[in-house]
């Protein structure tokens, strides 16, 4: 047929795949309904659409594909071999769409939905478990997808939609984000237990100018804070080791490989002494961030409200 030749030309291998999907997708459920009942009138009644709408949709679908999907016998139809092949794929596609719809509805459910929550490694041992325990006292069935990472990586995952909220430091300042300061965490100068400064309780950071430092890698918030504090104290730190996790750095200090500016540990670690830094003021702000203008599901809104209520009382 002439219309088939025109459709085949339009949907040739060089045609854009996205264009084809846009042509076919609205008619797939109609096609599956007609194929299931093998009767246009009955399918129209089941799907609650006018019979004429359904008939036109099937004709257009065949035209767009350039093949006959049905053999017609009055108002009764039967699938052609091409129709049977097409139906198998359509049913898989519709089942996947239904599964995806069920999943997103479940994630948005106020009582049992999901929150994708990111946080710094240093908050994983004690702070975050305590927060989740308290929150779930009132929301016992809300589910969490938890991600531990450094600050910049979590911000990128916020922007990509992989995270709903994150606890990070420094508190980000970007036009596409909303961020709120929640608390601050004092940093200590951690030295080996047999170090010349280990007997001290307090220290000015300038007194460590000649020490070898172990730090997190560039890009980590704590590394940026370390560099800034040392600069404020009048020196550039001499760095021997760079790592990805604060407790690993504490282990390097215990092994005598350097000193480090670190937040307090969840539990005391043997082999090190932790000194209060009196000057400059050594602390890092902890904040919560989310993407601006993104609507919250009910469970995300509830957890966000809970975190904001913990201002000044976030850390153990």
Domain boundaries, given as residue ranges, for the chain = 15-108, 114-184+286-310, 188-281
- pLDDT of 188: 97
Q: What is the CATH number of domain 15-108?
A: 1.10.10.10
Is residue 143 within 8 A of residue 103, CB to CB? The reply is no
Q: For residue 84, which phi and psi values (nearest 5 degrees)?
A: -65, -40
List the one residue out of 260, 164, 170 whose CA is nearest residue 208: 260
Let me know if the fold of 114-184+286-310 is the same as that of 188-281: yes
Give the integer Cα–Cα distance in Å for 90 and 73. 23
- pLDDT of 10: 45
| 234 Cβ neighbours under 8 A, 6+ residues apart | 206, 209
- pLDDT of 74: 76
Question: Could you say which of 3.40.50.620, 3.40.50.970, 3.40.50.300, 3.40.190.10 is the CATH number of the domain covering 114-184+286-310?
Answer: 3.40.190.10
- pLDDT of 16: 58
> Tens-digit pLDDT profile for the chain (316 aa)?
444 444 444 444 444 556 666 777 778 999 999 999 888 889 999 999 999 999 999 999 999 889 999 998 877 899 999 999 999 999 999 999 999 988 999 999 999 999 999 999 889 888 999 999 999 999 999 999 999 999 999 999 999 999 999 999 999 999 999 999 999 999 999 999 999 999 999 999 999 999 999 999 998 999 999 999 999 999 999 999 999 999 999 999 999 999 999 999 988 999 999 999 999 999 999 999 999 999 999 999 999 999 999 999 998 7
Give the integer Cα–Cα distance in Å for 113 and 298. 8
Q: What is the CATH number of domain 188-281?
A: 3.40.190.10
- pLDDT of 14: 42
Q: Is the peptide bond before 170 cis (omega within 30 degrees of 0)?
A: yes
- pLDDT of 129: 95
Which residues lie across from 288 on neighbouring strands? 167, 180
Burial of residue 68 (CB within 10 Å: 0-12, 13-18, 19+) is: middle
Which residues lie across from 215 on neighbouring strands? 242
HSE-CB for 275 with a 13 A CA cutoff: 24
């Amino acid at each position: 047929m002439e219309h088939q030749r025109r459709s085949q030309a339009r949907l040739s291998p060089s045609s854009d795949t996205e264009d084809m999907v846009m042509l076919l997708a609205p008619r797939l459920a109609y096609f599956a309904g007609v194929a299931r009942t093998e009767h246009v009138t009955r399918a129209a009644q089941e799907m609650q659409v006018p019979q004429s709408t359904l008939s036109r949709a099937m004709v257009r679908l065949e035209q767009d594909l350039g093949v006959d999907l049905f053999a017609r016998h009055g108002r009764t139809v039967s699938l052609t071999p091409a129709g049977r092949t097409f139906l198998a794929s359509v049913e898989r596609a519709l089942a996947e769409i239904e599964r995806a719809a069920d999943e997103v509805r479940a994630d948005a459910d106020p009582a049992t939905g999901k929150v994708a929550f990111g946080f710094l490694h240093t908050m994983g041992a004690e702070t975050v478990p305590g927060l989740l325990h308290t929150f779930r006292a009132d929301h016992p069935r809300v589910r969490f997808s938890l991600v531990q990472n450094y600050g910049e990586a979590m911000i990128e995952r916020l922007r990509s939609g992989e995270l709903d909220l994150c606890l990070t430091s420094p508190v980000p300042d970007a036009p596409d984000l909303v961020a709120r300061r929640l608390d601050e965490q004092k940093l200590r100068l951690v030295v080996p237990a047999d170090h010349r400064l280990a007997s001290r309780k307090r220290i000015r950071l300038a007194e460590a100018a000649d020490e070898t430092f172990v730090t997190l890698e560039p890009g980590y918030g704590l590394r940026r804070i370390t560099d800034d504090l040392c600069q404020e104290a009048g020196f550039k730190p001499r760095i021997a080791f760079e790592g990805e996790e604060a407790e690993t750095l504490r282990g390097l200090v215990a092994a005598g490989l350097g000193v480090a500016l670190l937040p307090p540990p969840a539990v005391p670690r043997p082999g090190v002494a932790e000194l209060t830094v009196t000057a400059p003021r050594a602390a890092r702000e902890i904040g919560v961030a989310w993407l601006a203008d993104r609507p919250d599901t009910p469970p995300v809104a509830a957890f966000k409200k809970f975190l904001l209520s913990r201002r000044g009382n976030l850390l153990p």
